[in-house]
Amino acid sequence: MPTISFDGQEITFEPGQTIIEAAMASDLYIPHLCWHPDFPPHGSCKLCSVKVNGRICSACTFPAAEGQEVVSSSEEVRQLRLRLTQMLFVEGNHFCPSCEKSGQCELQAMGYYLGMTDNHYPHFFPVRDIDASHPHVLLDRDRCIFCELCVRASRADGKNVFELAGRGIHTRLVVDSPSGKLGDSNLDVNDRAAHICPVGAIVVKETAFRIPIGQRKYDRRTIAEVSVAEEAPLLRKRYEQKED
Ligand code: FES
């Protein structure tokens, strides 16, 4: 098996794997928000930035290659990821203390993981529509980080309910329905797209605040621990299925 050096540790990879897949297959965490082992990479959040042979690359899209030297845990890389996370916070409206996703939110958990103590940048306070028209699913665009996981999941569901539209600060998550409202779309509460959002932009109604503080997903484990425990097995399963 070919190998790369990951933070000084030799790890093997299968030809065709990206750096994040190679790391994850060895239970090594690389921060990420828009990557998910079940979907094609999107390469938008850049949280997975690593240094490969001295150059910054996105680990979720960059293929692993024999002899690469990958640095993921340096202070320089942590600082870069911290600034990217702070940008994500200020370009949306993220009010963690009152958000029902608090304690279960990947963006919030990423902030904790990277030691974020302030926003660093001024807030944009964008004005975005909230869509509560669906009987079972709420779309709160204030919290969207444009990772497109719902878009990719809905594509895989065969429904294509979600898409991103607009550019820059005007980018918005839009819904494929005659009125543009979620309630008029064919999204079902059991669709994967209704459950894949890493933040609180798409949430299932009447499920909020059910888990007590102290028992929520990221109360006791870091995002790195949760990711290695939950996503690495999904990745391994995907490769096993490929081999069958
Ligand atoms: Fe690689 Fe988002 S995880 S760019």
> Could you tell me if 132 and 199 lie in one domain?
yes
Q: Is residue 216 part of a domain?
A: no
> Could you tell me if 227 and 192 lie in one domain?
no
> Could you tell me if 138 and 203 lie in one domain?
yes
> Could you tell me if 145 and 188 lie in one domain?
yes
**Position 108 pLDDT exceeds 80:** yes
Q: What is the pLDDT of residue 73?
A: 97
Q: What is the pLDDT of residue 13?
A: 96
Q: What is the pLDDT of residue 80?
A: 98
When the pLDDT of each residue in the chain is averaged and rounded to a whole number, the result is 96
pLDDT per position as a tens digit, 201-244: 999 999 999 999 999 999 999 999 999 999 999 998 888 887 77
> Could you tell me if 27 and 52 lie in one domain?
yes
> Could you tell me if 235 and 203 lie in one domain?
no
Nearest atom of ligand 1 to the alpha carbon of 41: 1
Instruction: Please give the DSSP secondary-structure letter assigned to residue 27.
Output: T
State in Å: Cα 44 to ligand 1 middle.
6
State in Å: Cα 132 to ligand 1 middle.
29
Q: Is residue 115 part of a domain?
A: no
% of the chain at pLDDT higher than 90: 95
Count structural domains, the chain: 2
pLDDT per position as a tens digit, 130-163: 999 999 999 999 999 999 999 999 999 999 999 9
Backbone torsion region of residue 214, taken as left when φ is above 0, otherwise alpha when ψ lies between -120 and 50, otherwise beta: left
The structure tokens 């090594």 sit at 28
Q: Is residue 108 part of a domain?
A: no
Q: What is the CATH number of the domain that holds 56?
A: 3.10.20.740
% of the chain at pLDDT higher than 70: 100
Our mutation pick for probing the ligand 1 site, out of 18, 52, 60, counting the most ligand atoms within 8 A of Cβ, is 60
pLDDT per position as a tens digit, 40-61: 999 999 999 999 999 999 999 9
> Could you tell me if 184 and 232 lie in one domain?
no
> Could you tell me if 135 and 190 lie in one domain?
yes
Q: What is the pLDDT of residue 240?
A: 84
> Could you tell me if 138 and 201 lie in one domain?
yes
Q: Is residue 230 part of a domain?
A: yes
Cα torsion angle, 38, 152, 17, 75, sign: negative
User: In terms of residue numbers, what domain contains 149?
Assistant: 127-208
Helix axis angle, 75-91 relative to 106-113, nearest 10°?
140
Nearest atom of ligand 1 to the alpha carbon of 35: 3
Q: What is the pLDDT of residue 241?
A: 82
**Position 175 pLDDT exceeds 80:** yes
pTM of the model: 0.96
> Could you tell me if 182 and 236 lie in one domain?
no
Q: Please state the φ and ψ torsions of residue 56, each to the nearest 5 degrees.
A: -75, 130
Token digits of residue 181: 């409202």
Q: What is the pLDDT of residue 101?
A: 97
Q: Which residues pair with 175 in a beta bridge?
A: 162
Q: Is residue 112 part of a domain?
A: no
Q: What is the CATH number of the domain that holds 177?
A: 3.30.70.20
Q: What is the pLDDT of residue 87?
A: 97
Q: Is residue 238 part of a domain?
A: yes
Our mutation pick for probing the ligand 1 site, out of 46, 107, 223, counting the most ligand atoms within 8 A of Cβ, is 46
> Could you tell me if 238 and 171 lie in one domain?
no
Q: What is the largest CA-CA distance in the chain?
A: 54
> Could you tell me if 183 and 228 lie in one domain?
no
State in Å: Cα 61 to ligand 1 middle.
8
**Position 169 pLDDT exceeds 90:** no
Ligand 1 site residues, Cβ closer than 6 angstroms: 32-35, 43-48, 58, 60
